[in-house]
Chain A
Amino acid sequence: SQTIHQWPATLVQPVGSPLSLECTVEGTSNPNLYWYRQAAGRGLQLLFYSVGIGQISSEVPQNLSASRPQDRQFILSSKKLLLSDSGFYLCAWSDWGGGMNLYNEQFFGPGTRLTVL
Chain B
Amino acid sequence: AQTVTQSQPEMSVQEAETVTLSCTYDTSESDYYLFWYKQPPSRQMILVIRQEAYKQQNATENRFSVNFQKAAKSFSLKISDSQLGDAAMYFCAYGSGSARQLTFGSGTQLTVLP
Contact = CB atoms under 8 A, between A and B. Distances in A.
Physical interaction between A and B: yes
Report whether over half of chain A's contact residues are helix, strand or loop; otherwise say mixed: strand
Chain B contact-residue range equals 20 to 34
Given A42-B106, A43-B105, A105 B47 contact: yes
A88 B91 CA distance: 16
A31 to B, nearest CB: 10
B111 to A, nearest CB: 14
B107 A43 contact: yes
B106 A111 contact: no
Nearest to A108: B45
A44 interface: yes
Interface stretch (B12-20, B21-29, B77-85, B95-103): B95-103
5 smallest A-B Cβ distances: which pairs?
Answer: A108-B45, A43-B106, A104-B95, A44-B104, A103-B33
Interface of A: 32, 34, 38, 41-44, 46, 49, 51, 88, 90, 92, 94, 96, 103-108, 110-111, 113
